Amino acid sequence: MLRRFVSTALALLAAALTPTAHAADLTPLETRWLQGIRPVVEQARQALSLPLDLVVQPQDAPGAAPLALGFVDGRCKLVLSMRGNPEALRQIDALDAALRGPALELMAAHEIGHCRRYLDGAWYSVPAGFVAAKVPEGLAPDLRQAWLDMRSTRREEAYGDLVGLAWTQEHHPELYARLHAWLVAERSADLIPGSHHDTLEWLALAADPARLGGVPLFDAAGRAWLQGLKE
């Protein structure tokens, strides 16, 4: 099982629900995750005014990311795939009890970062003044688009990680060092350098929590993200 949380644009989504709707149909694990991510969901909807729906997939989803983001008809879909998915249990049971709730918040904030990028129409794009990396010479034609997608995904995953850490710095500063170390370990496991989920260069920049403080959530993440692009 890959040690990661990723964002996947989903074409098929289960029925949207709020954290309290249809509670009798939820499993204990789904309830734990919904309770854990609730602070982020509430702030995203209320303070940040993001068009955000919660989705719990009712079918088994082995190998899926436990928490992912879809974007459908102008709305962000925060999708939980818990059933038949041991990764959903591993990600929280592997943590000390004190870190479980804040780690779930970090993961949810990561996805909210992707939501912001989608809504801004900036997904896969680079900021003004930056040029996307060129395809390596000699790469087979059928691999060129896959390579470009990989590079773009890596940038977006880095931005999401930084939003998650900016949330941690704002809401759980006493746990920042431990959660940063946990995230580095998650991203380092089974790592292929330069691949979709290699965000370690950006995480190194964020080792100092001061880089993510003093400004609103997305501004803090964006500032560190741009620094990583420059370097």
- Could you report the per-residue pLDDT of 15-39, keeping only the tens digit for each? 333 333 355 589 999 999 999 999 9
Same domain (yes/no): 46, 116: no
Helix/strand/coil for 16: strand
| Helix%, strand%, coil% for the chain, nearest 5 | 55, 10, 40
Q: Which domain holds residue 193?
A: 111-230
- pLDDT confidence of residue 21: 39
In a domain, 6, yes or no: no
In a domain, 201, yes or no: yes
Single out the residue in 54, 80, 102 at which a domain terminates: 102
Question: What is the 8-class DSSP label of residue 11?
Answer: S
Which pair of structure tokens corresponds to residue 215? 């400004």
Same domain (yes/no): 118, 225: yes
Same domain (yes/no): 84, 122: no
Same domain (yes/no): 115, 226: yes
Residue 52, φ and ψ in degrees, nearest 5: -125, 130
Which pair of structure tokens corresponds to residue 152? 């773009």
In a domain, 59, yes or no: yes
Same domain (yes/no): 226, 115: yes
Single out the residue in 60, 83, 102 at which a domain terminates: 102
Q: Please list the ranges in the chain whose pLDDT falls under 50.
A: 1-21
pLDDT one-digit tens code per residue, 149-192: 888 999 999 999 999 999 999 999 999 999 999 999 999 998 88
Distance CA(33)–CA(11), nearest Å, equals 23
Measured between alpha carbons, how far is residue 190 from residues 78, 105, 159, 195, 206 in Å? Answer: 26, 24, 21, 11, 21
Split into its structural domains, the chain has a count of 2
In a domain, 96, yes or no: yes
